Amino acid sequence: MQTCDDTVTLAAPIIPDAPQTRIPLAQRIGLHWVVRFLITWFGFGLLTAALVAGLQAMSVEISPIVSTGVLAVCALLAVFMVTLLIERRNPADIGLSLRRFVIDCLKGAGVGAAYLCTAVGILAVLGGYRITGVVFVGPALAGALVLHLLVGVFEETLVRGILFRFLEEGLGSWIALAISALFFGFSHLSNPHATLWSAIAIALEAGVVIGAVYMATRSLWFVMGLHTAWNFLQGALFGVAVSGADAPTESLFQPLIQGNHWLTGGAFGIEASVITVVLGLGLGIFFCVSAVRRQRTMRGLWWRGGINVLRNVS
């Protein structure tokens, strides 16, 4: 008698995969990009209006430092809230890691200081800048530092944290860099002594550079530090005009600026100097290459579906 121990295995029924519906490009951009962009702007405007109304109700004088502080705080809050509540992401993913606040700000300030000091040093070697005296005015320097810090926080949150970031996630890094740089440069056309050349110069030496730095570092604190040091050293330390504003009378160094306007930047300041533009282009190329090598650039939404983000950026 033959026995056999047969094990019968029932095969699982084969269920075909449900067809994946590809969301059209226009809808992906609308859902993942434009909507978040508009929500962020609306939140920023609402927070600003509420805070200004509160300060006015308390009869607080709206000085330049206070108004800039309101804009900086509300812009940051809007970005934090949209990132956490709408995007459901950690703010560290977009460059707002609280752990790295101090170190990244200091690193960025170092880059900004080196950049500006090199430009002024070259101008001095060429005979366009000379120090005629040194005056230490502590309160003026402290006030300038606070003001330029707030300006740096506000403008970088606005341009790199909102405009550049959403453009990048929708259109890719390079288109976002070009658009945000042009926006940043031409937004300075309303400044005193501004010209078409000064707007182009700022777009190249600041818009491209700071955008490239953000791509390479993925830290908003870093670019805030860079922007702060750049503006503070121009006015409070070297005594030159900052983006067309009149040169401060209480700077640490009392300068004599003379020579061709293409070298000195004329009444607009050293930001309109070809020296700064050439240095900026070199620095911008360096950080663009760094971003590519570190694989921190993005492709536009037409290349793939979903929200276009970088992960695990350290």
pLDDT digits (tens, 9 = 90+) for 174-198: 999 999 999 999 999 999 999 999 9
Instruction: Establish if 163 belongs to a structural domain.
Output: yes
Distance CA 223, CA 108 (A): 6
Distance CA 196, CA 127 (A): 26
Q: Supply the pLDDT for residue 18.
A: 43
Residue 10, pLDDT > 90, answer: no
Query: Is 194:244 a contact under the CB 8 Å cutoff?
Result: yes
Instruction: Establish if 259 belongs to a structural domain.
Output: yes
Instruction: Establish if 74 belongs to a structural domain.
Output: no
Question: What is the pTM (predicted TM-score) of this model?
Answer: 0.86
Q: Supply the pLDDT for residue 166.
A: 87
Q: Coil, helix or strand for 253?
A: strand
Q: Supply the pLDDT for residue 9.
A: 45
pLDDT tens across 246-274, in order? 878 788 999 999 999 999 999 999 999 99
Distance CA 95, CA 156 (A): 11
For 155, the domain range is: 98-302
Distance CA 237, CA 109 (A): 14
Instruction: Establish if 141 belongs to a structural domain.
Output: yes
Instruction: Establish if 24 belongs to a structural domain.
Output: no
Short-list 236, 232, 180, 233, CA closest to 206: 180
Query: Residue 309 has which token pair?
Result: 């983000």
Number of separate domains in the chain: 1
Short-list 291, 240, 238, 297, CA closest to 266: 240
Helix axes 173-186, 209-217, angle to 10 degrees: 140
Tell me which of 55-69, 184-198, 204-218 is least confident: 55-69
Q: Supply the pLDDT for residue 27.
A: 65
**Which residues have a Cβ under 8 Å from the Cβ of 160 and sit 6 or more positions away?**
180, 210, 211, 214, 220, 223
pLDDT tens across 13-58, in order? 444 444 445 556 666 666 667 777 888 888 889 999 998 888 888 8
The amino acid at residue 154 is F
